[in-house]
Amino acid sequence: METMEIVDSSKLLKDQPSCYGTVRHTGTIISMEVTGYQRVQWRVILCHILTVLTVGILWVIFHWKPVLEVLVKCHPCHLSQSDWVIIKDSFNQQFVAKVWREEIEDDSFPHPVQPSDDENRINLAIGVLEDDWKDTIQLQKQEEKNVIRYYMFEGLRYIWIEKRQCFCKLSVLEETLTCGDIHRQQRGLSRHNQNSKRRVYGPNIIDVPVKSYFRLLIEEVLNPFYVFQIFSIILWITEQYYYYAGCILLISVISIGISLYQTRKQSVTLRDMVKLTVNVRIHRETGEEEMVNSQDLVPGDCIVIPEDGIQVPCDVVLLTGECMVNESMLTGESIPVMKTPLPDGDMYYSPEEHKRHTLFCGTEVLQSKTYNMDQQVVAVVVRTGFCTTKGELISSILYPKPLGFKFYKDAVKFIIFLATLALIGDIYSIVILERQKVSVGRLVKRVLDLITIIVPPALPAAMTVGTIYAQNRLKKHGIFCISPLRINICGKLKVICFDKTGTLTEGGLDVWGVVPVVNKTFEPIIHDIRHVSGPMLHALATCHSVTLLDNQPIGDPLDLKMIESTGWILTDEITNSDAVSKFGMKVVAIVKPPLLEEPSSGSQKQEMNLGILRRFPFASSLQRMSVIVKKPGNLPIEAYLKGAPEMIASLCIKETVPADFSEMLRYYARDGYRVLALAYKTLEDITFEAVHKLERNFVDSEVTFLGFLIMRNILKPETKPIIERLNRANFRTVMVTGDNMLTALNVARNCGMVGLNDRVIFTNASPPIRDKPACVKFLLSEPAPGQQNGTEQQQSGNNFLEQSSYHFALNGKSFAVVYDYFPDLLQKILIRGTVYARMAPNQKTQLVESLQKLEYSVGMCGDGANDCGALKAADAGISLSEAEASVASPFTSRIDNIECVPMVIREGRASLVTSFGVFKYMAMYSMIQFVSVLILYTINSNLGDWQYLYFDLVITTSVAVLMGRTGPAKELVAQRPVGSLINVSILGSLLLQTLLVILIQVLTYTVTTAQTWFVPLNGSSSNKLPNYENTALFCVSGFQYLILATVLSKGHPFRKPLYSNVLFLLSLILLYTLMVFLTLYPLQFVCQIMQLMLIADVKFKFLLLGFAALHFVTSLLFEGFIDSGLLNQCLRPLCKKKYSRKLYKRLEKELCQNSAWPPLDEVIYAESGRVVHFE
């Protein structure tokens, strides 16, 4: 950069390694390498000159390969001096980004008006480290101006930070924010600070680029596919194929027009779906309020949330009040979520950890409530634009990670192979045509013509036909797909992971009863909750996140069932003054008891109203929720807890937990009941203000155990048949849930994931403690109720493993230990792991990614926000949601049960097989025409204009378009379709069919020239048409196109039979009839148009039909030979025995051969891998 001093540059570059201009960024999701480049003026000028001299060819090459343009025009430099950067992501893809510079005012970054206690650490006006903030500014020595430098990549802004000597994501500036810092930003920003920050952060918009039609046209025309088309059309015109060239040009124009319309329509639709601009009220640093456009918001702004709700325009953290939020657009979760204020403290703010206090961009606040009548519901902006959670999801749609699917990679290799074949054909053509003394110009045209024949330009479009049909069929069944390329991947799925609650079981739970604790002893279960009293009843009535919207209770189905079972009524129809007079303070909601039918009976006294002061909503990581409740008058404030029994028990005063706690929990969980524990504590002498300053850890500690809430979690009626169907089709089904282990295990047995005679091995792992390393122990579970001789099996050690299947079951804590300390052991556990309980959302994602590392194709089906990460990570994520399109996963199903899973798999298999079929057909279409043309070149002839038109448009296009309409087979089979083109069956089929095509055409040519009436070619017209050789080859090759379309459209076992595709069947019948007509009885004017010879010999015509029939029968036999596996068996002796390429198959084989593994009741330490027996 011209304004940088040379001295500074040399200092920067001194003692740097050879790749001094490269910085590697790593993160939880992606890692990328950024290399800096500086423009060299003479190189730029030289490129402009070469572009003119090459008539724009160099410019087109640079358009295709922007990285090459940067390498040619620039030289490597330190990132601090770069004008351009080349970004290499974790998938080895390379991208180019321009480094932008913006001048900012000298006083843009003032010190805070009210400095904090530690002024050197935090800048309250900005909300980021002062040093990091100032490091985003570079002082340009020559002009003495402040300049910020940044580049844009996938919608995100990466800004230069001098201290780190690299470009960093804008979100880095907010990483050091603590919850206390965010609370101190409640006063808002001044206009000056807001404007200054906007220069760095940019506008608060998620900008989906919508290109103009002209720009789209230029980009489409410069696509290599269309450049090849333009080249081909020009070539055909020079060869006087005017009709053919005109038709292809017309089709290309229509195709481009449709493509432009669809591309722009999709961009506009996504932009409209994403675009969110609202007017919001914000606090100013001076204490004033101001209405601003949401595009002007920056981190640090404090916005007011209206009572009647708002569309959230960015990620904000709630500081006061409560909000009921609909997050279905982001998560697919249709149940509104309660958001509560962020606790004040020194802990670092994390969007994931504090998601229950964060209102995410794109979600809708249905209503807000304030705790204090003198206070507004306010929230502070923490992230804007593409840095928001919604922005990251939209970025993943606009810039999806590459699908590592072999089919697509192999297709490119195969096209290169066809091009190589064309080269061989060209050499043959040059030799033949040179002998015939053909002019150089004509020879060049013929050679180039072969290239346009062997590499079918319509191949990429034809391969997507099956996917488009599959996507439309899925849509009719209520399954929406935002990533069509993943449909083919669904055809290769091997492992399907399921969430439990709401996916395998009913979303709503039925209350079965409560098991109260009295005097440290469990009482008998009480089924009628109305007969419960005291703290247990109050906990059931208040410890929930239910709220009222239009006088209708909304919230988690479990909470709704729980409050319904008590008969208590939630209400907010009470004025602030009434609340203060009754409870002495403002309350969020009031829960009223049901009126007694006979209040004078004396058997039961009327319960009092309860006021909810504050809620701590349920968090997956904490496995609990809690509320603070006030009774009328001067009665003390109480806190109630509800959550996972193990978690609640750990927070209770030990003396209040019954000795038989674990036994009682096991008793109910083993029978498949959902068990929750309840507890409470009294908060003495505490004021309203103090209540809202309490930390959750204080509220959720030293509590008194109340008992269990028992809920029935019933399997959905469709679950068991679907799981059994998947098991029969040899799929591995896995349950991953946040519920209790024994409950999950019971559901797994009931739905068929774990067979009645299968044994379960618990994997218990402990993290390292002091000098003791992490360890794992495998424990055999108790026999299932249906199993016999459990004691005998227990005594026989590992012997039972040889006779029956076994499954691993482990909880989230054990999974975390095995994941961190036993990577080799993790692989073996994953091979047989079936039940994963008490799994946190991030652990679900880790599980999916770990299975993928074993080279499984993994599907994930879930219904809630906790599954979002796993749904995105899976090869095929299916979200059960009412939303028509959710960015939570590639597939969104309105079918609220797992029936959608086999449906997606069947469509995936059908689409994949169709793609292979169309690919093989298009390759064979090229080969048929290639062979015909090479034979005709020997007599210096070619196919006619209308002949090309007939073959390419009438036959091939109609066949390729209609072939993909065949629907999926009704049944799932154990066999999976091949996923690679480089495969014995695929290549064997293509090779045998090609040899057959050559044999039949050469036979046709030879027999034709041997006829008594045959007259050798002697004409001066273009291509010397018509002639007998051409006519005979036209008739036979016309049948070959149709024969291969028929043979390669076989349905079984992944698709319906060919006859089910009525349109395709009718088109084949029509085309076969037309070919018979053209062979036997062509009309005079048809012969003139098609440039065919009239052959009078009827026997010869029937002989041509005989050749076609011979081809049909032989072709069918070849395909049958390949499908039956005989080709593989024939080739097996010639091939060395190879290990399976798939890692999971090698591990499965190893486990099957090792009956002594796993070692039961033994401890495996992480340190040395040694095994120590328990005493």
- The type of residue at 857 is S
Phi–psi pair at 191, nearest 5 degrees: -60, -40
Alpha carbons 362 and 526: distance in angstroms, whole number: 44
From residue 1077, give the alpha-carbon distance in Å to each of 566, 917, 1039, 1080, 1102: 82, 28, 12, 5, 12
User: DSSP string covering 123-169, please?
Assistant: ETTTTEEHHHHHTTEEEETTTTEEEEEEEEETTEEEEEETTTTEEEE
The long-range contacts involving 517-524, CB below 8 angstroms and separated by at least 24 positions, are 517/656, 517/658, 517/705, 517/706, 517/707, 520/655, 520/656, 520/657, 520/658, 520/659, 521/658, 522/658, 522/660, 522/664, 522/707, 522/708, 523/707
Contact criterion met (CB below 8 Å) for 409 and 453: no
DSSP code of residue 605: P
β 624-630/94-104 pair status: unpaired
Q: How many CB atoms lie within 10 A of CB 1154?
A: 12
Q: How many CB atoms lie within 10 A of CB 6?
A: 7
Alpha carbons 658 and 681: distance in angstroms, whole number: 17
Cis bond upstream, residue 1026 (ω within 30):
yes
CA nearest to 145, candidates 170, 108, 117, 100: 108
Instruction: Give the active site residue among 499, 559, 863, 867.
Output: 499
Burial of 571 (C-beta count, 10 Å sphere; 0-12/13-18/19+): middle
Location of structure tokens 């988690």: 556
Q: Which two tokens stand for residue 207?
A: 């900008």
Alpha carbons 745 and 676: distance in angstroms, whole number: 17
Q: Is 317 left (phi over 0), alpha (psi -120 to 50) or beta?
A: beta
Residue ranges of alpha helices (H) inside 789-867 are 790-795, 799-803, 812-821, 823-832, 841-853
Phi–psi pair at 238, nearest 5 degrees: -65, -25
Partners of 776 in the beta sheet?
765, 1164
Active site residue 410: no
Q: Dihedral of the CA atoms 406, 407, 413, 414 (nearest 10)?
A: 150
Cis bond upstream, residue 1158 (ω within 30):
yes
Location of structure tokens 């004025």: 575
Alpha carbons 397 and 206: distance in angstroms, whole number: 12
> Helix, strand or coil for residue 705?
strand
Which residues are part of the catalytic machinery? 499
